[in-house]
């Protein structure tokens, strides 16, 4: 598993997904098998019962983050992936899993 290295940046990706029952397992499996640590993770409703938003905080070099975003985009139940400002990402108090 990839550990934090000097020069890594902390990034948060916001992932819009179809609200399928195993979509969280797919995301976590993908991060695990590609060798990336999930620092924190949060799932939120988006007002549309068919979709959810997952925010994942991770550390990595720029290339690694780009690679992880491209891998995440390939999941069939992923509708959109964006990098967001880390400071804004986890203002809400509860983190679902860590």
Site for other proteins in 23-82 (CB under 8 A): 25-26, 29, 33, 50, 63, 66-67, 70-71, 73-80
In the complex with other proteins, which residue's Cβ is closer, 67 or 95? 67
Residue 95 in tokens: 């983190």
In the complex with other proteins, which residue's Cβ is closer, 53 or 75? 75
**CB-based contacts of 14: which residues, under 8 Å, 6+ apart?**
53, 54, 55, 81, 82, 83, 84, 89
Give me the phi and psi of 86, to 5 degrees please.
-55, -35
Residue 6 in tokens: 């000097």
Q: Which stretch binds other proteins (CB under 8 A): 1-9, 13-21, 52-60, 88-96?
A: 13-21
Cβ atoms of 13 and 74 within 8 Å: the answer is no
Residues at the contact surface with other proteins, assessed by CB under 8 A: 18, 20-22, 25-26, 29, 33, 50, 63, 66-67, 70-71, 73-80
């Amino acid at each position: 598993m990839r550990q934090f290295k000097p020069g890594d940046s902390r990034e948060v990706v916001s992932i819009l997904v179809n609200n399928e029952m195993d979509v969280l397992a797919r995301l976590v499996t993908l991060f695990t098998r590609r060798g990336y640590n999930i620092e924190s993770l949060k799932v939120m409703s988006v007002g549309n019962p068919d979709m959810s938003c997952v925010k994942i905080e991770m550390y990595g070099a720029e290339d690694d983050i780009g690679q992880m975003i491209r891998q995440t985009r390939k999941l069939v139940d992923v509708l959109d992936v964006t990098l967001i400002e880390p400071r804004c990402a986890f203002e809400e108090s509860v983190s679902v899993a860590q």
